[in-house]
Amino acid sequence: MYNRIVLEYGEKYNILEILPIENVSQIDFVAPSYYSKDIREITSLMANTELFFGADSGMMHLASAAQTPTIGLFSVTNIAMYQPYNKGSIAIKLTQLSLDEIMQTIANVLI
């Protein structure tokens, strides 16, 4: 999925992985990354981005709280309960969408 995102959006957008407190990458550090233990710094960065795209996690909820358009990726948790609620955000169930449909969802949020 990361490769497809880079292919379609890499020339127009800077793609950045925001690392969690454990300082681990979900994509093996192939993208530029940002790490901080300061929640205010992370939130400030998120508030100045076009889109947050990531798994149902604390980072997803932080992006939503920062009023950043957020695409929450779900596989087992309850979407209705844990989806991002801010304007311009959406939750998707990965097991129900193809990669093309996920990419269309990204395009729709970025419009």
pLDDT at 111 over 90: no
Residues 52-69: tens digit of each pLDDT:
999 999 999 999 999 999
CATH number at residue 38: 3.40.50.2000
What is the domain count for the chain? Answer: 1
User: What CA–CA distances, in Å, run from 95 to 72, 75, 82?
Assistant: 13, 6, 17
Q: What is the CA radius of gyration of the chain?
A: 13
Residue 61 is predicted with a pLDDT of 95
d(CA 3, CA 15): 11
Average pLDDT, integer, range 106-111 = 90
What is the pTM (predicted TM-score) of this model?
0.89
List, edge to edge, every strand of the sheet that includes 52-55.
Answer: 52-55, 70-74, 90-93
Stated as kind and residue range, the H or E segment containing 7 is helix 2-9
Residue 64 is predicted with a pLDDT of 95
Average pLDDT, integer, range 36-45 = 95
Residue 87 is predicted with a pLDDT of 87
Average pLDDT, integer, range 83-108 = 93
Mean pLDDT for the chain overall: 94
Residue 12 is predicted with a pLDDT of 94
User: What CA–CA distances, in Å, run from 89 to 12, 33, 57, 74?
Assistant: 21, 23, 15, 13
List, in sequence order, every beta strand (DSSP E) within the chain.
17-18, 33-34, 52-55, 70-74, 90-93
pLDDT band with cut points at 50, 70 and 90 for residue 88: confident
Domain span holding position 20: 2-110
